[in-house]
Amino acid sequence: MTAALVEVRDLAKTFDVSAPWLNRVVERKPRQFVHAVDGVSFSIAQGKTLALVGESGCGKSTVARLLVGLYAPTRGEVLFDGQRTDDIARIAGSELRTLRRRMQMIFQDPYASLNPRWKVLKIVGEPLTEHGLVGGEDALRAKVSELLMSVGLAAADCEKFPHQFSGGQRQRISIARALATQPEFLVCDEPTSALDVSVQAQVLNIMKDLQRSRGLTYLFISHNLAVVRHVSDEVGVMYLGRLVELAGKRELFAQPRHPYTRMLLDAIPDIHMTGRARTPVQGEVPNPLDPPRGCAFHPRCPHANARCSSERPLLGEFKGVRVACHAVQEGRI
Ligand code: SF4
């Protein structure tokens, strides 16, 4: 079995979204908290891809930001190559630089994440100079050209500005920049969602080729199960800050267990005409400020019973799959 490069244990992040103190006193309002991530655990083996899926607001992007240290967790641990990284403020200077070099993030909107006033040479070359990985202008230009060519762009693109590229090309520049420090782990937050369908596959294929050639490990965040099917080895389904199912890709797509996973899969057009009975997506994600008691999915679940509305199901092992559902564990579905 391949060793885990990334391990997350009981990770939680709570945001205080209370009104200002004076408003609370005058209007007699209590403090309010959103549990964006609540007790998430998983591991990602070296060279593999774990995809986190779920509707908007389920906490998957917060998990991504917790992993690269953009947020400090409220509870839990993140281990990268055996080293705890959840308390990034306490990690010393050189150790932190090494850590930042080894893990990088690719964002959804390539236009917003690239400085429009910089040429590509500076955008892609900045991490190289920041980390002291090249000496001199010629070496920098050669390295940036090599990175651009590895993502299907040309060396001459060094001299252009971001607005001179299409959306797909801009995302390739983001990938080249992320690869500059030779990271081992990439956190990809909806990297193709802002792109036209026609160029999504090209970018995904580049990412898969780079994974194979460089042995990269990915955490891939997406709301699109068709994309997830293309890139992942393992899939975690999130609902209101919790993992409700964690399974191998083949297993999950062939035999989804959790009613929410089934609902998400049923939303994909059945081009193979399997004839399987489908339940259309029902309802909306509840208000995270006032989540339902018991199983958070029970107001939308066709299999809910009295136990579901009072007792929160825990993520448990069921025939090699981890799933949090009373009906699955009771053998009702
Ligand atoms: Fe549905 Fe109950 Fe399972 Fe929740 S625990 S998904 S409400 S059957």
Domain residue limits, the chain: 4-329
- Taking the CA of residue 301 as reference, the ligand 1 atom at the shortest distance is 1
What is the predicted pLDDT for the residue at 286? 85
User: Higher-confidence residue: 88 or 52?
Assistant: 52
* pLDDT of 279 over the 80 cut: no
Of 303, 311, 312, 332, which is best to mutate to test ligand 1, by the most ligand atoms within 8 angstroms of its C-beta? 303
Q: Please name the residues in contact with 121: beta carbons below 8 A apart, sequence gap of 6 or more.
A: 140, 141, 144, 158, 159
- Looking at domain 4-329, its CATH architecture is 3-Layer(aba) Sandwich (3.40)
**Sequence-ordered list of residues with C-beta below 8 angstroms from that of 209, at least 6 positions apart, any chain:** none
Q: Closest ligand 1 atom, CA of 258?
A: 6
Q: Which of these, 327, 307, 317, lies nearest to 258 by C-alpha position?
A: 327
List 2's β-bridge partners, or say none: none
Cβ(68) – ligand 1 distance below 6 Å: no
Q: Is the CB of 327 under 6 A from ligand 1?
A: yes
At 309, the amino acid letter reads S
Q: Which atom of ligand 1 is nearest to the CA of 313?
A: 5
Q: What pLDDT, on a 0 to 100 scale, did the predictor assign at position 153?
A: 95
pLDDT at 275 over 90: no
Residue 31 in tokens: 């403090």
Q: Is 180 in the pocket of ligand 1 (CB under 6 A)?
A: no
Strand-strand pairing, 321-323 and 4-16: unpaired
Residue range 143-175, pLDDT digits in tens = 999 999 999 999 999 999 999 999 999 999 999
| Amino acid (one-letter) located at 263 | M
What's the pLDDT band for 260 if we cut at 50, 70, 90? very high
State the distance from the centre of ligand 1 to the C-alpha of 67, rounded, in angstroms: 29
Mean pLDDT of the 117-135 span:
93
Q: Is the CB of 301 under 6 A from ligand 1?
A: yes
The predicted pLDDT at position 94 comes to 80
Query: Looking at residue 193, what is its pLDDT?
Result: 85
Give 296-299 contacts, CB < 8 A, sequence gap 24+: 296/239, 296/240, 296/242, 297/239, 297/240, 297/244, 297/259, 297/260
Distance 301 CA to ligand 1 centre (A): 6
Residues 164-217: pLDDT tens digits? 999 999 999 999 999 999 999 999 999 988 788 888 889 999 999 999 999 999
Q: Helix, strand, or coil here: 10?
A: strand
Q: Is the pLDDT of residue 97 over 90?
A: no
User: Stretch 226-251: mean pLDDT, rounded?
Assistant: 94
- What pLDDT does 158 receive? 95
How many other C-beta atoms can be found within 10 angstroms of the C-beta atom of residue 130?
Answer: 13
Q: What is the pTM of this model?
A: 0.91
Q: Which residue has the higher pLDDT, 153 or 318?
A: 153
What is the number of the ligand 1 atom nearest to the C-alpha of 333?
Answer: 8
Average pLDDT over residues 129-135: 89
| pLDDT band (50, 70, 90) for residue 308 | very high
Angle at which helices 137-150 and 120-130 pack, to 10 degrees? 110
DSSP code of 155?
A: G
> Over 80: is that where the pLDDT of 276 sits?
no
> What integer pLDDT is reported at residue 278 of this predicted model?
62
pLDDT of residue 89: 66
308 lines ligand 1 (CB under 6 A): yes
